[in-house]
Chain A
Amino acid sequence: NAGVTQTPKFQVLKTGQSMTLQCAQDMNHEYMSWYRQDPGMGLRLIHYSVGAGITDQGEVPNGYNVSRSTTEDFPLRLLSAAPSQTSVYFCASSWTGTGNTIYFGEGSWLTVV
């Protein structure tokens, strides 16, 4: 039972490079989301999806792109990395139902130099 799987766990990028953080879940959850964690600011929502083909912006979407072609996968793309995007990124998933739980991945540590 893998739950929510994020790759890579650690990544160093140069300013201006692009990359994709992968997120996959095997629980058939309809809802998936990406958060970034910065010191003293908790976690902030970047983008979310309520199902395949449907995405929407969260609190801090600028500089990031997402798509949801399947229920299982929700990749986060950094179009042109900036030092301000140095952060820890968490993917989460859940389903709409009584007593549901929002599951988080283990996180991806990204440094932009």
Chain B
Amino acid sequence: AQSVTQLGSHVSVSEGALVLLRCNYSSSVPPYLFWYVQYPNQGLQLLLKYTSAATLVKGINGFEAEFKKSETSFHLTKPSAHMSDAAEYFCAVSGNLLIQGAQKLVFGQGTRLTINP
């Protein structure tokens, strides 16, 4: 069984400040982990993914995340927030993407990021 918990349904930061969105997971198999971003009234866009290679994963728009097995965490960070980063962010976990049928995603509840000017 797999589950994801995103700490904080709403995070607010100032423009130029560090962005930190927290994600903890539970998985009975080695996890594949994802961060998606959703802008208002739009679909989901993949920011980055962890697929058992490097533990520090770099994604689009200056975001990165670090897989920490001991802490069962996959927190998303960005050194300097931009107004265009305002959106909802989802952390998700799946099984091994190399196994047929294991591509089911379990999502966290989402975190709405607000950027203050």
Interface residue ranges, A against B (CB under 8 Å): 30-31, 33, 35, 40-45, 48, 50, 56, 58, 90, 92, 94, 96-102, 104-107, 109
Contacts and interface: CB of A to CB of B under 8 A. Distances in A.
B29 interface: no
Contact of B100 (A30, A33, A40, A106): A30
Contacts of B103: 31, 33, 48, 94, 96, 100, 102
A90 B44 contact: yes
Interface of B: 4, 9, 34, 36, 41-44, 46, 49, 51, 90, 92, 94, 97-101, 103-110
B43 A45 contact: no
A37 B95 CA distance: 21
A43 B90 contact: yes
A99 B90 contact: no
A41 B44 contact: no
A85 to B, nearest CB: 19
Contacts of B49: 101
By secondary structure, the B interface counts as loop
Contacts of B101: 31, 48, 50, 56
Given A41-B109, A94-B97, A100-B97, A48 B104 contact: yes
Contacts of B43: 90, 104-107
Contacts, number: 68
B23 to A, nearest CB: 11
Contacts of B44: 43, 90, 104
11 contacts: A35-B107, A40-B109, A41-B109, A48-B104, A50-B100, A50-B101, A90-B44, A100-B103, A102-B34, A102-B46, A105-B43
Contacts of A96: 97-100, 103
Contacts of A99: 51
A43 B100 contact: no
A58 B4 CA distance: 16
Most buried by A among B44, B49, B51, B99: B44
A78 to B, nearest CB: 20
